[in-house]
Structure 1
Amino acid sequence: MKLTGKQKRYLRASANRMRPIFEVGKNGLSKVWLEEVIKALDTRELIKINLLQNTTLTTSDVQDFIEKNSDVTVVQKLGKTLVLFKPSANESHRELSSEVFSI
């Protein structure tokens, strides 16, 4: 999904005070991990992922894995943190995406 600069800026501002809820460690990435991330995004729409010090992956590796295997949008890469966005399939959880798409 393509987002405009204003939409990305709004999402980055919304994620500013959030804490990462998923981590990537020495075990790396898997389809099961990605399914759990997508489930969390379905209820929250915006999450942060943190890369631990013991991982051999970079943020670019994680971004490529996520974008190739799902329709999740990486909004921001900052240090070892990624901010992810995906509109919820459930209409009752679409508060953030309705604001983003109105921009």
Structure 2
Amino acid sequence: MLTGKQKRYLRSEAHHLKAIFQVGKEGVSANQIKGIDDALEAQELIKVKILESCPDDVNSVAVELSMHTKAEVVQIIGRTIVFYRHSPQGIYRLP
């Protein structure tokens, strides 16, 4: 569980990042979960964009992805979700 101070730090680090995954009209698929899991292992901090055509709401997608990838939801802003999962070779040192 991330503290408020850690979330603030990660939000500031994620500000300049581009969304590297999109969830569209098919919803969350097993392929997307695997890709997001791999991206979290490599980068620790990623953004996922939820398209308007997605049948699920943003909060349910965030919960589903965080459960399957064991990642923390740092922020939900609009239709963009920021995820974080610590990686041993990662670059982020949390306060």
Pick the TM interval, shorter chain: over 0.9
Q: Percent identity?
A: 35
Aligned partner of 1:77 in structure 2 is: 76
Runs of 4+ in 1 over 4 A off after TM superposition: none
TM-score normalised by length of structure 1: 0.86
Aligned partner of 2:4 in structure 1 is: 5
Which residue identity does 1:55 align to in structure 2? C
5 Å-filtered alignment, 1:77-96, equals 77-89=76-88, 91=89, 94-96=90-92
TM-score normalised by length of structure 2: 0.93
Which stretch shifts more, 30-39 or 9-18? Answer: 30-39
Which residue identity does 2:11 align to in structure 1? R
Structure label with greater radius of gyration: 1
Aligned partner of 1:30 in structure 2 is: 29
- RMSD of aligned residue pairs (Cα, Å): 1.1
Which stretch shifts more, 40-49 or 60-69? Answer: 60-69
SS in 2 for 1:53: coil
Structure 1 unmatched ranges of 5 or more: none
Aligned partner of 1:20 in structure 2 is: 19
Structure 2 unmatched ranges of 5 or more: none
Q: How many residues align?
A: 95
